[in-house]
Structure 1
């Protein structure tokens, strides 16, 4: 009788996040804990790490120390992998602080090890916004003092040359920052880019105005000149701020315009003048303000069209959770359809899976912790978004929420994702993952568990995937990055991935096709 060559046999793929195949530790709730290799542990920690933030089970300093330790080892041992990781972390995963800390700590480790290559590129790769060179210097000097190694300086200088322009100077070079553009320029000494003929004058003016507030603006810096002119006119006549073209040409931010106007102009008219030049994220975060000011339906329709535009969504690189946050914050329903469409575009990497899929979403008490001190959303809500998105894309899915007990979440073809999310009961209770798997697995073709992996060791607290036949793949989506996982991963039909974006979903079809799913920055 054949043991292996049977009907239904299929090739087994591999995932990049590898763990030990027998537990060496315990989860925070006492169940068997499976340690991952260094790359897997760093990846899962980085894609959920806001840096300096408490989590349910780990204090901020403990979590940050673990992050630095992993970075120090991998930046030296595998700089090519690490450089790609940092660039992806900042640009695709959209993790600002984690990417910046990883780059600077990685550069520090390489300098200490006497390695002179890669550090400049690693540091530059971590920055995508013009306030980040200053953030980099603030982190470095706060941790290591004012002696900045040459590779770090050069990486910061490269980023400044790439990111500094007139509009970014107006937006980010403010007195509230400890490191202004001038401080970066005087410490890192970037050279103006050959293709930016006015950048040399911009650099000089940034330094001049840092030391003298009334420094004259060079004539060829047109945006800065128009901004100063508009500010002067608005002091005497706030109605000058109601001209959309003047606002756009002057690089006037919505924050500055509101501050200049005060209560002297109608808020609805001011918002309507500002909206044409506002960026995607600014529109998304101000929907409540638009409603409270009474912005007209005609203008609101134009905002909604931009929010729902797939190209705009792609350029914005917003995390899916921002759309849920905007939906919950907006008083009116006139934004709901646009936010639903935008969320769908944002989750375009969620695959359409054939067969039957069991999707288990962790709603235990440890998942109630917020993603960061400034976030109004929790890991439980992140799990809801991703679990519901996957269930809606599957040909046949059972969506289940679990903690101490478990229950099905109704989901049907054509349901709106934001409506499905509202059907979850919310977080609370212990993490009975293994029991939930046993209660709901019934001949499914795959199982996906969205969780922080801190399974409970009590009743039924065995390794959760053991209730699933070995030929059925189990995918664990980790949303917290703690050290020990609830099961093995990387081979034998058991895989882990993680993060707050949809990028990791790409692995499922690859693995099921019998291929090796590589790190997401490796194409």
Structure 2
């Protein structure tokens, strides 16, 4: 009897890239699953705010694990690792981890004498996207490996310098607080001006003069921003506030590339409402979001507030800012006035534009256990528990029919209405102690078409069992990992069991892809 060569071959379940290889234990001794090196590195990379301690791992331990995996795979699988690092800095929106990863990639390949695959120079250049990052890369390399900077690192940084160094960027990022100023970078990597940017030669010289001879540094006359900035700096201190708040003040600040941070020091006085209203038109979207409380405290007027609200909630501005959705939650939680609630809700919705409207019935389980309350980074007051709630709620409100559940030691449904504010729904979540994922799935699964679990995947030994085993084998279970710990709570990669990771929403697109019967690749693969 023919088993394979027939008109109705057996259906093949689609596969996803994060793959488990066998059983292990979680950090608390519970049943877990080991992932292969690529899967472990991917999940760690998309959740790794460098030097940030989590509930189960020290910051140093996570950094060493990340660097070790990059070094190993840079030699064993150079093309894949280079693709991860470039994507991580771009769509993955993980700035520091990508810079550290690129440096470790190059160090490992130089030590091993590896030459196949993407060049070291290309990988360094690919992760440098902002004008302060060439200095960041040098600072990391020197602090980690000493002042002998290899040629591929220098050349990759030089390529980035030619792309990124402009007069406006010099004013924004070449500050005294940096260990490596623009002039230091130029001295170390010796870039030549880009052939399509003849003005860069004068700009490079000015950056060197600012660093080494600041009293006599003259901006190139061809750069209108730098010359306007110099003229503004020359205004006597007693005349500055009137100049800014008077007619044409906003235009002067914009023409001179004056940031709000620099403006505060230049004025030598408080940032009152009139000053804020002058600089608001030239502020970036996320600078506006971060300063909503300051606007309220200064008493910014309704007209300026309307301009701020329109910009921070504009879908194109949100897309251009490339910020994680939880940034808007943090702003909502700390803004003093309710006048920002609706524009922040709209901005959050735009930032979650990739969340699909899932058909059928969906069970969404949100981990609210103690280990999820670690802050996302040392500079953030937001935690993984609230980030998990954002994603889960966004899926629920857009799905055809969904049961939204929070779990820890216990579990309970979270009420919501179609079209309701995601930010309002988040107020109904609590802190639920331990991590009994298995019992939560067992209790709440009632013939749903799929299960989504947003979690750090860490359960203790007394919470027995694989949570995915509580769901029939023909029903897909998607785990959304927000911490990047080594062990997972269930199998992944095939057989309707899949794990994604990170704090952006792009991987949600894999759910309809897998359910249409197609394999899901790594995000940077086409």
TM-score (norm 1): 0.96
- The answer on whether the counterparts of 2:407 and 2:432 sit within 8 Å (CA) in structure 1 is no
SS at match of 2:258: coil
Distance 1:129 1:45 in 2: 23
Task: Give the structure 1 partner of residue 231 of structure 2.
Answer: 229
CA distance, structure 1, for counterparts of residue 43 and residue 80 of structure 2 = 15
Gaps of 5+ in 1: none
SS at match of 1:34: strand
CA contact (8 A) 1:433 1:456 kept: no
Q: Counterparts of 1:408-427 in structure 2 under 5 Å?
A: 408-425=413-430, 427=431
SS in 2 for 1:334: helix
1:103 counterpart residue number:
102
**The 10-residue stretch of structure 1 (83-92 or 357-366) with the greater mean CA deviation from structure 2:** 83-92
Contact 2:318 2:347 in 1 (8 A): yes
Structure 1 residue 411: Cα displacement: 1.5
Deviation of 1:203 after TM superposition, in Å, equals: 0.5
Counterpart position of 1:202: 203
Report the counterpart of residue 182 of structure 2 in structure 1: 181
1:332 aligns with 2:333: no
Match in the other structure for 1:458: 462
**How do 1:53-202 and structure 2 match up within 5 A?**
53-116=52-115, 117-202=118-203
Runs of 4+ in 1 over 3 A off after TM superposition: none
| 1:33 aligned onto 2:32 | yes
Question: Which residue of structure 2 lines up, in the alignment, with residue 355 of structure 1?
Answer: 360
Report the CA distance between 1:236 and its aligned residue: 3.7
How far does residue 10 in structure 1 lie from its aligned partner after superposition?
Answer: 6.6
Aligned alpha-carbon RMSD (Å): 1.7
Matched, 1:439 2:443: yes
Deviation at 1:143, TM superposition (A): 0.4
- Measured in 1, the distance between the counterparts of 2:320 and 2:205 equals 31
SS of aligned partner of 1:248:
helix
**Cα offset, 1:428, TM superposition:** 4.2
Q: 1:410–1:420: 8 Å Cα contact kept in structure 2?
A: yes
Q: 1:84-127: CA deviations, max 9, x gaps? A: 21111011111111000001100111111112452111111111
SS of the residue corresponding to residue 475 of structure 1 reads: strand
Query: Residues 227 and 252 of structure 1 are in contact (CA less than 8 Å); yes or no, is this contact kept in structure 2?
Result: yes
Alpha-carbon distance between aligned partners in 2 of 1:84 and 1:423, rounded to the nearest angstrom: 40
Secondary structure, in 3 states, of the residue corresponding to 1:237? helix
> For residue 371 of structure 2, what is the aligned residue in structure 1?
366
- In the TM superposition, what is the alpha-carbon distance from 1:302 to its structure 2 partner? 1.1
Distance 2:285 2:75 in 1: 38
Match of 1:261 in 2: 267
Structure 2 contact 366–405 (Cα < 8 Å) conserved = yes
Shift of 1:41: 0.4
SS class of match (2:406): strand
Alignment match, 2:515: 512
- 1:238-291 per-residue CA deviation (whole Å, 9 max, x = no partner) reads 212230110000000101112222337x71011111011001111110011111
Matched, 1:277 2:279: no
Per-residue CA deviations over 1:102-159 (Å, capped at 9, x if unaligned) read: 0110011111111245211111111111111101000000000011111111111111
Q: Contact 1:364/1:429 (CA < 8 Å) preserved in 2?
A: yes
CA distance in 1, matches of 2:76, 2:350: 37
Offset at 1:329? 1.1
Q: SS where residue 33 of structure 1 aligns? A: strand
- Tell me, yes or no, if the aligned pair for 2:369 and 2:433 is still in contact at 8 Å: yes
Q: Does 1:288 align with 2:293?
A: yes
What residue in structure 2 maps to residue 404 of structure 1? 409
| Residues in 1 aligned to 2:420 and 2:268: alpha-carbon distance in whole angstroms | 43
| Secondary structure at 2:33 match in 1 | strand
- Residue 414 of structure 1 and its aligned partner are, at CA, apart by 1.2
Contact 2:410 2:432 in 1 (8 A): no
The CA distance in 1 between the partners of 2:398 and 2:58, in whole Å, is 37
Q: Write out aligned runs for 1:457-476 (5 A).
A: 457-459=461-463, 461-476=464-479
The answer as to whether partners of 1:369 and 1:379 remain within 8 angstroms in 2 is yes
Counterparts of 2:13 and 2:426, CA distance in 1: 33
Other-structure match for 2:453: 449
**How far apart in 2 are the matches of 1:389 and 1:11?**
30
CA–CA distance in structure 1, aligned partners of residues 498 and 219 of structure 2: 57
Who is 2:481 aligned against? 478
Alpha-carbon deviation of 1:221? 2.4
Q: Does 2:319 match 1:320?
A: no
Q: Structure 1: how far apart are the matches of 2:205 and 2:188?
A: 14
Q: CA deviation at 1:456?
A: 2.3
- Provide the secondary structure at the position in 1 that maps to 2:338: coil
CA 374–428 in structure 1, closer or farther in 2 if over 3 Å, else same: farther
SS of corresponding position for 2:171: helix
Aligned counterpart, 2:212? 211
Deviating more after overlay: 445-454 vs 149-158: 149-158
Partner residue of 1:241? 244
Q: CA offset at residue 457 of structure 1? A: 2.1
